[in-house]
């Protein structure tokens, strides 16, 4: 008995489409969570001491400019 390659292909396509949809939902949830976290960091920086110690500003790490020695 030979496999029905059209059915196999259709099933794989459906599985891939479902996985891509799931990934898109997860990416959207992660982006939303990051926005909420960054808003909280701006409102309450005292609640995020680890970020304050390593020099994080507005959710992004501050780097020194090697030429000027000033923060970027």
pLDDT digits (tens, 9 = 90+) for 13-62: 999 999 999 999 999 999 999 999 999 999 998 888 887 666 555 556 66
Does 72 reside within a domain?
no
Token couple for 32: 């939303």
Does 13 reside within a domain?
yes
Residues 13-27 as b/e (b if ≥16 CB within 10 A, e otherwise) read eeeeeeeeeeeeeee
Does 34 reside within a domain?
yes
Does 41 reside within a domain?
yes
Token couple for 67: 């030429």
Does 49 reside within a domain?
yes
- Asked if residues 58 and 38 have their Cβ atoms less than 8 Å apart, the reply is yes
Distance CA 53, CA 16 (A): 43
Per the structure, the count of domains in the chain is 1
pLDDT of 2: 84
pTM of the full structure: 0.56
Does 70 reside within a domain?
no
Does 67 reside within a domain?
no
Domain range spanning residue 11? Answer: 5-61
């Amino acid at each position: 008995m030979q496999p029905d390659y059209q059915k196999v292909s259709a099933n794989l396509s459906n599985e891939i489409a479902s996985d891509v949809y799931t990934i898109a939902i997860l990416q959207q949830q992660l982006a939303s969570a990051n926005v909420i976290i960054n808003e909280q960091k701006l409102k309450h920086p005292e609640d995020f001491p680890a970020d304050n110690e390593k020099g994080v500003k507005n959710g992004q790490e501050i780097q020194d400019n090697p030429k000027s020695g000033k923060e970027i």
